[in-house]
Amino acid sequence: MTTLSESLDALAKTAQADVASAADLAALEAVRIRYLGRKGSLAAVLRGLGDLSSAERPAAGKLANDIKRALEAALDVRQTELEAAVQAAVLARERLDVTMPGRPLPMGRLHPSTRILRRICQIWADMGFQVYRSRDIETDEMNFELLNIPAYHPARDMWDTFYTTTDGVLLRTHTSPGQIRVMRERCPEPIRVILPGMCYRYEQITARSEIQFHQVEGLAVGRHITMTDLKGTLISFAHRMFGPERQVRFRASHFPFTEPSAEMDVECMLCGGAGCGVCKHSGWLEILGCGMVHPRVLQNGGYDPAQFSGFAFGMGPERITMLYHRIEDIRYFWANDLRFLEQF
């Protein structure tokens, strides 16, 4: 009995030492087979159990089982260790250069004019102004006459016009003919609409002027719409568009379809009013023209100017984009060069 337990103890010791020193999974597997395999050392020792007396046998059996279990546990631990080491080695081999560039996205983008139009229209939508679209090719009557700009009137100098070969048909010079169209369609309902659209002017294409450009015009008509409303509404717009802290000012101006007419300036958002190149060192940016709808225009839209009043305003989204992003050349907008478009 003593001899058996001694040899079991000795076996356990050498086995634990072999497990600890197994350098890799193959060596560990060899250790496992050597001690725990069917022809392994432990089995050989256990074959001696049969020679023991029945009194000795349980204790010796238990000892052998303990040793076996301890050895299995040690093998598992070692196995896990070695596996982790192998995985670590594999991962180390597969290490990436994380500074390599990522796979570029095939990104789509909106045109900058669409972006700004959406923003402008969204702000006005929140204030209850719905989009009203109207046509590009207009009659002289809609574009001028009904807006209180008769033929040869000095005010026509404000618009260099593309005429078509059809008498009395032209490319709209502003979105204002939409005012007449929406009024005629909706009269006598009150109106709050925003009219975005492409306009055209007979101009040399330069860094500062284009033959086509967007305009966003707004129109409110009702029985109690006043100049204080005009100011309040436009200031709200300016604060959302340019920032709640921006100063806003109104100057007297002239448009044939509004009376009184005004021009709204917003404190330069680039220099905060201190003066910079963009605002020509004035601290202010001209943002939109506006005014109370001229009584003749109301009349032409079907509304009795003694009962109804309204305000209108218009702005140039490309100009606002240019101010925002310090773009020096308006020609970029229709050139569609990806080197420009990709920056938005």
Partner 1 sequence: MRVPLSWLAEFIPVPIPVEQLADRLTFAGLEVSTIHRIGVAGSDLPWDLARIVVGQIQEVSPHPNADRLVLATVTYGPDRSKTVVTGAPNLPIGSRGQKVVLALEGAQLWDASSSTPATLTLKGRKVRGVYSDAMVCSERELGLSEDHEGILLLDDSAPVGAPAAEVLGDIVLEVEILANMARCLSIIGVAREVAALTGGTVRVPPPTMADTGAPVGQAIQLVIADPALSARYTATVLRGVTIGPSPEWVRRRLRLAGIRPINNVVDVTNYVMLEWGQPLHAFDYDVLVRRARGLPRIEVRPAHAGETITTLDGTVRSLTPERLLITDTAGPIAVAGVMGGAETEVTDATTNVLLESANFHFVSIRKTTQALKLPSEASARFGRGVPAALALPAAVRATALMQQLAGGEIAQGVADCYPAPQVPPVITLRGPDLERILGMPVPQADAVRILRALDFRCEEQGDDQIRVEVPAHRLDVGEGIVGVHDLAEEVARVIGYDRIPVTEMADTLPPQRDNVAVDREELARDLLVTAGLQEIITYRLTTPEREAALIPGNTEVPSYIQLANPISADRTVMRRTLRAGLLDVLAQNARLRERLAFFEIGPVYLLGADLLPDEPRRLAIGLAGRMSPPSWAEPEGTTTDFYALKGLVEGLLAGLHVPAPVFDPEEDPTFVPGRTARVSVAGRSVGIFGEVHPQVRKSFDLPLPAFVAELELEQVLSLVPVSYAVQAVPRFPPVLEDIALVVDDAVPAAAVMEAIRAAGGPLLAAVRLFDLYRGNQLSPGKKSLAFSLQFQAPDRTLTDQDVEGEKRRILGAVERALGARLRG
- Please give the Cα distance from 291 to 224 (Å, whole number): 15
Would you state the structure tokens that stand for residue 73, as one six-digit string? 């546990």
The residues near 8 (Cβ < 8 Å, ≥ 6 apart) are 45, 60, 63, 64, 67
Applying the rule CB under 8 A, the residues between 292 and 331 that interact with partner 1 are: 292, 294-296, 305-306, 309
Residue 172 C-beta: closest distance to partner 1, Å: 11
What are residue 196's DSSP bridge partners? 216
Is 343 among the residues that bind partner 1 (CB under 8 A)? no
Applying the rule CB under 8 A, the residues between 174 and 233 that interact with partner 1 are: 186, 189-192, 198, 200, 202-205, 211-212, 220, 222-229, 231-233
Count interface residues toward partner 1 (CB under 8 A).
Answer: 92
Nearer of residues 90 and 105 to partner 1, judged by Cβ: 105
- Please give the Cα distance from 271 to 89 (Å, whole number): 57
Residue 123 C-beta: closest distance to partner 1, Å: 15
Applying the rule CB under 8 A, the residues between 133 and 152 that interact with partner 1 are: 133, 135-139, 151-152
Residue 272 C-beta: closest distance to partner 1, Å: 20
| Per-residue contact flags (x/-) with partner 1 for residues 71 to 110, judged by CB under 8 A | -----------------------------xx-xxxxxxxx
b/e 162-181 (16+ beta carbons within 10 angstroms → b): beeeeeeebbbbbbbbbbbb
Residue/partner pairs of 25-32 with CB below 8 Å, 24 or more apart: 25/79, 25/82, 25/83, 25/86, 28/75, 28/78, 28/79, 28/82, 31/75, 32/75
- Please give the Cα distance from 62 to 1 (Å, whole number): 13
Nearer of residues 29 and 141 to partner 1, judged by Cβ: 141
- Please give the Cα distance from 43 to 303 (Å, whole number): 110
Would you state the structure tokens that stand for residue 226, as one six-digit string? 């006043």
Among 19, 64, 75, 262, interactor with partner 1 by CB under 8 A = 262
Nearer of residues 22 and 238 to partner 1, judged by Cβ: 238
- Please give the Cα distance from 291 to 106 (Å, whole number): 45
| Per-residue contact flags (x/-) with partner 1 for residues 269 to 288, judged by CB under 8 A | --------------------
Is 337 among the residues that bind partner 1 (CB under 8 A)? yes
Applying the rule CB under 8 A, the residues between 11 and 40 that interact with partner 1 are: none
Among 27, 169, 187, 269, interactor with partner 1 by CB under 8 A = 169
8 Å CB contact between 172 and 200: yes
8 Å CB contact between 113 and 317: yes
- Please give the Cα distance from 222 to 230 (Å, whole number): 12
Residue 118 C-beta: closest distance to partner 1, Å: 7
Among 57, 118, 119, 184, interactor with partner 1 by CB under 8 A = 118
8 Å CB contact between 171 and 138: yes
Nearer of residues 35 and 124 to partner 1, judged by Cβ: 124
Is 253 among the residues that bind partner 1 (CB under 8 A)? yes
Nearer of residues 1 and 110 to partner 1, judged by Cβ: 110
- Window of 24-32, 38-46, 88-96, 247-255 that interacts with partner 1 by CB under 8 A: 247-255
Nearer of residues 19 and 225 to partner 1, judged by Cβ: 225
